[in-house]
Amino acid sequence: MVDLAAMLDDLRAEGAESDRLVASLSAADWALPTPAPGWTIAHQIAHLAWTDDQVRLAATDPTAFAGALAVAAADPDGFVDRGAEAGATAPPRDLLARWRDGRHAVPELLSALPAGARLPWYGPPMSAASMAGARIMETWAHTQDIADTLGVLRTPTTRLRHIARLGVRARDYAYTVHGLRPPEGEFRVELIDPDEPGGTWTHGPEGAAERVTGPLLDFCLLVTRRRHPADLAVRAEGAEATRWLTITQAYAGPPGAGRTPGRSD
């Protein structure tokens, strides 16, 4: 059974880590380009703030959120970028305050949802736990872009298991968004995690022919498309598992160009 309270604590911790990176940045630093083409640090935080705003809208005013869905449907490839661009024009102090307000509000809203409730979203409706996992993943990924920009080496935490879980659950979606038919059977995924009991995080049947192995951190960098597969110690056995490593993504929407080999940007 999913421990929602623990997930929300992990979401708060991810936000706090991001905050520590940007809280004391100068205005010039907020304008630094990040590995995401066309996005500055301000865009990264503005995107997180915008997404938190959408979660709040979905939780408190589903009718208004339906209007937001219609706007997204009219520009499916650009509405996320437009949200980030609009937020990035604000003075850094105002943007930081907006983001803090939203990221503190989201866990409270998710914890207050009735058992079994689902939020409307850009795709299938999401449970509180699924939304918490998605927010952890996105916060971690965009914080990675900021850390790469600033030359900060982050310490992996057990919170990465949420991202790994999303990555394997999104396997069929990754195939579909690339116009491919998902494989029939499950893959075996074995990831080295020193902080997990036994030191390994696993998913899928132990005897599966298609297998993926490697460090938990590297797998999370892969499924969030923050590193090129050639730069990671994630390995595959089997033709489909090998192909999956080239298309995998833990998030909804277009996959984007990803990173080039030998670079984090």
Block means of pLDDT (10 residues each) for the chain, 265 residues, are: 92 98 97 96 98 96 94 87 94 98 98 94 92 97 98 94 96 94 95 82 95 97 95 97 95 76 63
Q: What pLDDT sits at residue 265? A: 46
The answer on 106 and 32 residing in a single domain is yes
Q: What is the CATH number of the domain that holds 196?
A: 3.30.1050
Q: What pLDDT sits at residue 252? A: 81
| Residue 119 counted as domain residue | yes
| Residue 136 counted as domain residue | no
The answer on 170 and 73 residing in a single domain is no
Q: What pLDDT sits at residue 263? A: 59
Q: What pLDDT sits at residue 27? A: 96
The answer on 187 and 102 residing in a single domain is no
In order of 190, 198, 212, 233, 265, the CA distances from 171 in angstroms are: 15, 25, 12, 19, 24
The answer on 163 and 114 residing in a single domain is no
Using CA of residue 32, residue 35, residue 40, residue 45, what is the dihedral sign? negative
The domain total for the chain is 2
| Residue 167 counted as domain residue | yes
| Residue 74 counted as domain residue | yes
| Residue 253 counted as domain residue | no
Half-sphere exposure of 211 (CA within 13 A, CB side): 11
The answer on 185 and 115 residing in a single domain is no
The answer on 120 and 27 residing in a single domain is yes
Q: What is the CATH number of the domain that holds 26?
A: 1.20.120.450
- Supply the range of the domain harboring residue 57: 4-127
The answer on 120 and 26 residing in a single domain is yes
The answer on 167 and 114 residing in a single domain is no
| Residue 141 counted as domain residue | no
